[in-house]
Amino acid sequence: MKKYIIGYVPNTYKGNDKFKIKASFDTKEEAVKERKVLEEKGKAFNVCYSIWTAKQVQEQWDACTQKSKEKRKKTIASKTPEQKKKKFILCPRCGSTSKLLYSEFGGLQTRRCKNGHSFEYDKWIGDRIGSIMLFGNPVAAAEFIVNNPTITK
């Protein structure tokens, strides 16, 4: 049995917008009726609803996913080996690598190392440590480096 899906493609001009599903029906007549109701409600927003089959929706989603994968590959290929290196934040107690638990708005991260120690890391300061050493307090920057070790691989 064919399934009919009502939805729309958002008009955001990104080029890879996926079909947004509003409802699904077993018969085309039900889908046509519901589309008319939705278009009456959405006239102010200038949304154009269309009826697709499940196969058409899946094909469109696969095409969008493929485009995003190609874009990601292109971005990764354009990076230099120096840019591809990852920075790992080490635990100040035992020196093992850590995992991000959650981050707050200002860049304050709560992390946990492989050995179970929890600690906080200020990403805003960590990313700007060179400028703090040059223009700010070099003693405070040195203390931050000692208390928050990192490794680049």
pLDDT band at 141 (very low <50, low <70, confident <90, very high): confident
Please give the Cα distance from 105 to 107 (Å, whole number).
6
Q: How many CB atoms lie within 10 A of CB 113?
A: 19
pLDDT on residue 115: 92
What tokens were used for 100?
A: 């991000």
How far is the first Cα of the chain from the last one, in angstroms, to the nearest whole number? 53
Q: What is the domain partition of the chain in residue ranges?
A: 4-78, 87-152
pLDDT on residue 117: 92
Over the stretch 62-114, which tens digit does the pLDDT of each residue have? 988 898 899 989 988 888 887 778 888 889 888 899 998 988 887 888 999 99
- Is the dihedral angle over the CA atoms 114, 119, 123, 128 positive or is it negative? negative
140 has a pLDDT exceeding 90: no
pLDDT band at 12 (very low <50, low <70, confident <90, very high): low
| CA trace torsion 17, 23, 25, 29 (10° rounding) | -90
Element (H, E) at 38: helix 28-41
Q: What is the pTM of this model?
A: 0.45
Instruction: State the chain's mean pLDDT as an integer.
Output: 82
